[in-house]
Amino acid sequence: GSLTGAEYSLSVVSMKPLVELETKLIQNLDDYVKALEHKLQILRRHISEIRLENEKAQRNVVLYLSHPLNAFALIRRLHLDWVQWRKYMEQPVGGAQMRSFDAWRDHLPTQLDLQDACNGIARIQDIYGLQEKHIMRGQLAGIKYNISMSTGDIFAVGQHLSRTTNAKEAVPWLKEVKRRLRNQTPGPLAVDKAEVLLLLAETYIKSKHYAEALPILDRALKHNIADAVLLRRREEVQQLIAKEPSTVLDNAEPKDNSKVAILKWGCRGFSREQSPKALHCCYNFTTTPFLRLAPLKMELLGEHPYVVVYHDVLSDSEIAEILEMAERRMARTSTVAQPNRTSSPTRTAMGAWLKRSSNALTRRIARRVRDMSGLQLEGSERMQVINYGIGGHYVPHKDWFTQHPEVMGNRLATVLFYLTDVEQGGATMFNKAEHKVLPRRGTALFWYNLHTDGEGDWSTTHAACPIIVGSKWVLTQWIRERNQIFIRPCLGRTSD
């Protein structure tokens, strides 16, 4: 709960407190209902008592009033009691519950959290080319889940997309909301009809589909006959149509920036996953003396660039301990090139840095990295544990630096441990080398980022494909050049 600003949607683990928070909100609303019910009970009991008395009087008014105790009581009630009931009606219910709510308000997701969440859904749809109507129904990449989107969910995505540069992408979402307007349950969450229609019309206008905006505005006007905003908008649209009678519908696919295009191609695309492309599998007995005792199951994915998979290198209990350590240290991850939040982030995830010297486990993992790579770790960054959130991803990038970095040298190699399986999406994708590696709990990926002469290798460019379903956790160890002098001497390029 100590998250500041917009960080909930960026990782599954950071959203965990929200479930607890909603439990409290439900209990609080239930307490409010109980308070209301208590009031209702008191009122109902009084009504039935006083009605009985009143009916007795109705049956024979004079006879009733002839009895002094009846007449006296009537006078007293009307002078004193009813004023008390009036006061009772006025007394607010739920003050305590509203104060509780206000105390939790700071922990609620913000507008920025919602934007991130909308971007995540939009990214899954866009990168994997899913149909909006399938997502709304809970069908994700061909698998039907027993979850579907509410009208409020769909409207929020539509509203968000209508504000983006590709406003047209909001249309399927807003049309679905319009379709559902008829059978809405009344209450504070019912969406406002005029608002939906106006937003849909504006979205058409923004994407130059003027002719389609007109009937929507007409429909909105039917319900708000003299609405000034609607009338003016309608007039403007008619002028636009008159000015550009044959408005060319802007149906061209929006141009993707190259990173988005690569993700679309690589994350949907080449489905040669792991094994069919493997050159060979073998046991690595040789990298360090330790491996002669405990060989690692190694699978070579490619030699140029050199990419290998090590199977079963972390046990379930080791993973559980690492996740526990990381969960306590999570913060929004940034990249070197993009330290601050932007609307199109290159990396959407939360991370934690762990010192290799933290405890027995981190030291053991560090030794395993040395065993797998044959490289030393002095001077390398700490290990980074990352958890992705809604549609979480990392755009195509290379792990090495173009500008030769300071003392410890460039990032010679990367070891990427998968700490979880991912149900759908979330592959690590090398778009140039054409490897797509699906996360498998306990598996690690190792590759060299630099050529043997120390130059950066562009063919190591890789990305984290958006997660569709799952909570993806990885642990990364970047290995710096310096200190490897005697292990991997610069030989000059052996190949390209």
Q: Which distant-in-sequence residues (6+ apart) come within 8 Å of 255 by Cβ?
A: none
Distance CA 11, CA 120 (A): 11
- Tell which positions 295-314 bind ligand AKG, by CB under 6 A: none
Q: What are the DSSP calls for 88-152, one per residue?
A: HHHS-S-HHHHHHHHHHGGGS--HHHHHHHHHHHHHHHHHTT--HHHHHTTEETTEE-S----HH
Give which of ligand AKG, Fe ion, none residue 267 binds (C-beta under 5 to 8 Å, depending on kind).
none
Q: How far apart are CA 287 and CA 489, in angstroms?
A: 15
> What is the closest distance, in whole angstroms, from the C-beta atom of residue 111 to Fe ion in the complex?
30
User: Which amino acid is present at 28?
Assistant: N
Return the number of the residue (216 or 450) whose C-beta is nearest Fe ion. Answer: 450
Q: Which is nearer to ligand AKG, 220 or 314 (CB)?
A: 314
Closest CA to 200 of 231, 182, 176: 176
- Binding-site size for ligand AKG (CB under 6 A) equals 8
What is the spatial distance between Cα 144 and Cα 439, in angstroms, rounded to a whole number? 22
* Binder among 121, 140, 156, 474 for ligand AKG (CB under 6 A): 474
Q: Which does 476 bind (CB under 5 to 8 A by kind): Fe ion, ligand AKG, none?
A: ligand AKG
- Among the residue ranges 117-125, 221-229, 394-402, 441-449, the one whose residues contact Fe ion (CB under 5 A): 394-402
- List the single partner that 474 binds among ligand AKG, Fe ion, none, CB under 5 to 8 Å by kind: ligand AKG
Q: What is the 3-class SS of 398-446, one letter each residue?
A: CCCCCCCCCCCCCEEEEEEEECCCCCEECCEEECCCCEEECCCCCCEEE
| Nearer to ligand AKG (CB atom), residue 351 or residue 409 | 351
**Binding partner of residue 234 among Fe ion, ligand AKG, none, CB cut-off 5 to 8 Å per kind:** none
Interaction between residue 395 and ligand AKG (CB under 6 A): no
**Which is nearer to ligand AKG, 113 or 399 (by Cβ)?**
399
Q: What is each CA distance from 346 to 393, 399, 433, in whole angstroms?
A: 8, 13, 21
Please identify, using beta-carbon distances, which residue of 191 and 386 lies nearer to ligand AKG. Answer: 386
399 touches Fe ion (CB under 5 A)? yes
Contact call for residues 268 and 128 (beta carbons, < 8 A): yes
Residues 416-445 binding ligand AKG (CB under 6 A) are: 416, 428
User: Which residues of this protein are in contact with Fe ion, per CB under 5 A?
Assistant: 399
Binding site residues, ligand AKG, CB under 6 A: 394, 399, 416, 428, 462, 464, 474, 476
